[in-house]
Structure 1
Amino acid sequence: MIRQNQGFLTKLYMLTDFAFIQLAFLLAWWVKFESGWFPYEEPLPLETYALWSLVYGAVAVVVGIMITLYSPKRKKRFADEFMKIFQMHFIGMFILLSIMFFVKEVDISRWYLAIYMILNVAFIILYRYFLKKSLKHFREKGYNRQFVLIVGAGSLGKRFFKNLKQYPELGYEVIGFLDDYQQWDDIEARRLKPILGSVGDLHKVLNEKLVDEVVLALPLNAHHKYPEIIAACEKAGVRTLIIPDFFDYLPARPVFDNFAGMPMINVRDIPLDLAANRLFKRAFDIVFSLVAIILTLPVMIGIYLGVRLTSRGPVIFKQERVGLNRRNFYMYKFRSMKPLPEGAPDTGWTVENDPRRTKFGSFLRKTSLDELPQFFNVLFGHMSVVGPRPERPYYVEQFKEEIPKYMVKHHVRPGITGWAQSNGLRGDTSIEERIKHDIFYIENWSILFDIKIILRTIRNGFKNAY
């Protein structure tokens, strides 16, 4: 049976959001009118502001319901919730201002509204973040668990069981398997949950045991059993999830499209295909790169002089790379190596203790300061702050034939750093592992993920850089 506490938690989230909106109202009122931080102005009565805050609280909660902010979150990433909170307040404020315009309530302080909105977003994001962390902690300790039955004990079912064990914070516990043919040997019996019976025993198991979700992990040749299994689950009020036997071909977060009236799985759905996400990421890139250029300008001037005084040749090294949509561009770096002879092909691979490096260049590469000019690439739109690292055309042609899914990385702008680089996959490391990390980033992008990668890069430094 489906747990009844989900409805209670949903209502509790609504009430808590509403309460924090009213808390934001009280604090915004104090900051604007009582703190003395702003020039004094005669405000409307407190009761007027309180009334509009109550209206906004109701509007925001209704908007949250409409954009599914209050749907079950156990399987969801916080990044998805983060974006929905922004959506809720953006749409809610638009509706509030529209209502105020129609009733001719034009004397509300603009500064108050700005403070009110900032506090609303900050309060709700913070409390939900700490609540999500707390729930994960308690689930890891064994509280608030949900129970899963896996139908199918073959390779697909066993793989799902092993994957689920790696995420104890989700709070799911497998009670066992159902399968018509599989039997465990002694080793598997100790590592896995028991096989409780055949697929035909599903109705009996659902009646006798507490099951919240049934996961179908059957091979394609068992497709004909799905209608009976799904009917039994729905009769018992149990959620049913299906792992397609071809899931290796699907993205990490598959999306269903509707084509000619039929549902279809989009094999390569990318969050940055959405115009709003692209705009948000581009705005972040422009602001971040401008701030980085301003802050590091004295350092770049010092490096410019260091390169100029310690070796002959241009200070800025330009190298052709493959970027977004397989378009070539020139990536900028401070030169750290001796210039190539005229006409020599640029196909060499940098290795540890590379003899081509200059003494000053060795320092630049070790500290990754040679990468600073790439913030201008970001500003010009060639690159992003975070994304898969771009490669030279010569190696792209080589790797696309040797490494599966290598070209997927060109669906987004390349980055100064990326998920692979923040995990130490830089320099002479596995290209296959880098691509796995790049595809994971592309399919799971969020602005929070970008910030996490930037902070992780700063904390860990650029490992394996030579």
Structure 2
Amino acid sequence: MIRKNQRLINGLNLLSDLILIFTAYFAALLTKFFLLEGHSGPIVWLNEPVYWAVAFAYSALLVLVYFFAGLYGSYRFKQMGSEALTILLINGVGVLSLMALMYLVRMSEFSRVALFLFWLYSNLFVLSKRTFARALLRHYRKLGYNQKHVVVVGSGHFAHQYIEDVKRNPHMGFTVDGYVSEDNCPELGQRLGTFDELEQVLDGRLVDEVVAALEPDEIGYMKQVLTTADKTGVRISIIPFYNDYIPSYPTIDVVGRTKLINMRTTPLDNVMWRMIKRGMDVAGSLVLILLTSPIMLFAAIGVRLSSPGPILFKQERVGRNKKPFRMWKFRSMRITGTEDTGWSTSADPRKTKFGSFIRKYSIDELPQFFNVLKGDMSLIGPRPEVPFHVNHFKEEIPLYLVRQQVRPGITGWAQVNGLRGDTSIEKRVEYDIWYIENWSFWLDIKILFMTAFGGMKNDEKIV
């Protein structure tokens, strides 16, 4: 039943995208000629059938590209942010291609403003519809509709974890009908039978998916479970017994008959995403340098007057791929010989009064925009540490050096969640790893806004 519902939803999704993109053409013309220009006479783009044919063909072609980009399918696992960015990119390339085509066939009457409005409205209409559809589906799934019926095979740790996660996320629309296991675990719900009875269980009920959650000592049953699922025509997913070590979005490479799970693949391994992030860093740092230049001038004068020594504090930090670099900050402390290894705290006696002020409002970090421009850092990423701490923590904290797979940042997911200064390094690493594995363009935008609206002020006290 769920497959039939999903096909219907996918079809409606595709058809509505086609109608909305085509409608965006009409809306763009009305806005350009009637609202912006107050035009009252006949308009070529509205009266000539050839333009409507081109608009319809363009809409159909765009929807076809959406289809091949994987934009029609279940919303259960897809993130709205990545879907929105894909739509914006496809629509942008589509309008530029349409403009080039019109030049080639000598359709010189078209308006560039109208084409821009066409792109704007098509984005607005399609994204608004998809946002509404997601919210509606989530609401109905919480009410118990559009459910995907699942049978869990196993009764150990991962079976418990999966069933618990399903209960915590009712908006995803999964219903666990029961479990199959040699052991009886009432807390998991209804026991449907043993491993040998799995075929009868699947034949006797409507099941959309089998989730194999076998423990290491039950791995011998895996072939039997897979064969039974295939025989009964039920889709099967596997929770590997090394689940806790797999990143959120692993990739699989194939060498002959051998499948290799890449345990440390990140979204930023993709060249396009790296270019987009670097472009945002360069553009963002240039704009922020310009906007904060009066504040930096004020900080430079304040540091010079507060205590003897240089205005900038340059310290070696460990960057991407463990490459050292010199990070710049406005000096907030008196000159001592411990800067390379000392861990600063809120009550650090080395701080000057002006230094504690610029640290409290993160003004001391502003010169790092030049580190970003240089390429040593990013606007968003794990905070860089001095080599002394890196060498110390890598021995004590698992996955610590995974942080070095990306450029360190001025701000990051850990910092906007309150983990800055003298806080738990283990918790910071946990947040940093989550950021690396779940990176998206929209996550960076979210962190920038969280930093701007509350993430710059910290708990340090002004001495």
Normalised to the residue count of structure 2, the TM-score between the two structures is 0.91
CA contact (8 A) 1:386 1:450 kept: yes
- Where does residue 219 of structure 1 map in the other structure? 215
Which residue in 2 is equivalent to 1:33? 33
Aligned residue for 1:253, secondary structure, equals coil
Structure 2 letter corresponding to 1:434: R
* 1:51 pairs with 2:53: yes
Identify the range of structure 1 (317-326 vs 196-205) with the bigger mean alpha-carbon deviation: 196-205
1:373 alignment counterpart: 367
1:429 matched residue in structure 2: 423
Distance 2:45 2:340 in 1: 72
SS class of match (2:36): coil
Q: Is residue 270 of structure 1 aligned with residue 266 of structure 2? A: yes
CA distance in 2 between partners of 1:41 and 1:433 (Å): 66
2:75 paired residue among 60, 73, 76 = 73
Q: Give the direction of change, closer, same or farther, for the CA distance of 1:311–1:84 in structure 2 (3 Å limit).
A: same
> Does the CA-based 8 Å contact 1:322-1:328 persist in structure 2?
yes
**Secondary structure of 1:408's partner?**
helix
Which deviates more, 218-227 or 57-66? 218-227
Q: 1:39 to 1:4 in 2, by over 3 A?
A: closer
Matched, 1:300 2:300: no
| Mapped contact 2:330–2:365 kept (Cα < 8 A) | yes
Aligned partners of 1:375 and 1:42: how far apart in 2? 53
Q: Give the aligned partner of residue 351 of structure 2.
A: 357
Secondary structure in structure 2 of the residue aligned to 1:312:
coil
Distance 2:220 2:104 in 1: 58
| 1:12 alignment counterpart | 12
Out of 405, 413, 434, the position equivalent to 1:440 is 434
Cα distance, 1:382–1:200 mapped onto 2, change above 3 Å: same
Cα deviation, residue 270, structure 1:
1.2
Displacement, 1:120?
1.9
Matches of 2:141 and 2:416, distance apart in 1: 29
Task: Give the Cα–Cα distance (whole angstroms) in 1 for the partners of residues 121 and 58 of structure 2.
Answer: 14
**1:14-50 Cα deviation digits (max 9, x unpaired):** 1111122123212221233223369999963323433
Paired residue type of 1:148: V
Partners of 1:449 and 1:38 lie apart in 2 by 41
CA distance in 2, matches of 1:104, 1:11: 36
Q: Secondary structure at the match of 2:291?
A: helix
2:234 aligns with one of 235, 238, 249: 238
Please, which moves more after superposition, 432-441 or 122-131?
122-131
- Name the residue aligned to 1:417: 411
Name the CA distance, whole Å, in 2 between partners of 1:464 and 1:163: 34
Stretch of structure 1 that moved more, 58-67 or 116-125:
116-125
User: Residues 373 and 461 from structure 1, CA distance in 2 versus in 1: closer, same or farther, beyond 3 angstroms?
Assistant: same
Distance across 1 between alignment mates of 2:110 and 2:222: 59
Deviation (angstroms), 1:272: 0.7
In 1, the alpha carbon distance for the partners of 2:239 and 2:420 equals 34
Q: Which residue of 1 aligns with 2:21?
A: 21
- Structure-1-length-normalised TM-score: 0.91
> Could you give the per-residue CA deviations for residues 309-330 of structure 1, whole angstroms, max 9, x where no partner exists?
2222222211211111111111
Report the Cα distance in structure 1 between the residues aligned to 2:344 and 2:206, rounded to whole angstroms.
58
Q: How is 1:308-327 mapped onto 2 (pairs within 5 angstroms)?
A: 308-327=304-323
Using the TM superposition, give the Cα deviation of residue 106 of structure 1 relative to its aligned residue in structure 2, in angstroms.
4.4
Residues 220-244 of structure 1, C-alpha deviations (whole Å, 9 max, x = no match): 4434433432333344443211111
Q: Is this contact kept in 2: 1:425–1:464, CA < 8 A?
A: no
Q: CA distance change for structure 1 residues 117 and 262 in 2, over 3 Å: closer, same or farther?
A: farther
Distance 1:465 1:381, change over 3 A: farther
CA distance in 1, matches of 2:356, 2:250: 44
Distance 2:179 2:271 in 1: 43
**1:183 partnered with 2:184:** yes
Structure 1 distance, partners of 2:168, 2:96, is 42
Q: Give the whole-Å Cα distance in 2 for the aligned partners of 1:101 and 1:226.
A: 60
Counterpart-to-counterpart distance in 2, 1:409 and 1:49? 53
Indicate the SS of the match to 1:70.
coil
RMSD, aligned CA: 2.5
- Contact 1:2–1:237, Cα closer than 8 Å, also in 2: no
CA contact (8 A) 1:67 1:88 kept: no
Which stretch of the first structure deviates more once superposed, 123-132 or 329-338?
Answer: 123-132
The letter for the 1-side match of 2:404 is: H
In the alignment, the residues of structure 1 paired with residue 269 and residue 242 of structure 2 have an alpha-carbon distance, to the nearest angstrom, of 24
CA separation of 1:39 and 1:277: change in aligned 2, threshold 3 A: farther
Cα displacement string for residues 244-303 of structure 1 (whole angstroms, at most 9, x for unaligned residues) = 111222211112223336433222111111110011111112222222222222222222
Cα pair distance change 1:437/1:345, threshold 3 Å: closer
Q: Give the drift of 1:336.
A: 1.3
The answer as to whether partners of 1:424 and 1:462 remain within 8 angstroms in 2 is no
Q: Displacement of 1:170 after TM fit? A: 1.2
User: Residues of 2 paired with 1:88 and 1:230: CA distance?
Assistant: 39
Q: Counterparts in 2 of 1:192-203, with a 5 A limit?
A: 192-203=188-199
Amino acid at match of 1:26: F
Identity over aligned residues, as a percent?
43
Amino acid of the residue matched to residue 133 of structure 2?
L
Gaps of 5+ in 2: none
Write the letter of the residue equivalent to 1:44. Answer: V
1:123 aligns to what?
Answer: 125
Q: What number of residue pairs does the alignment pair up? A: 458
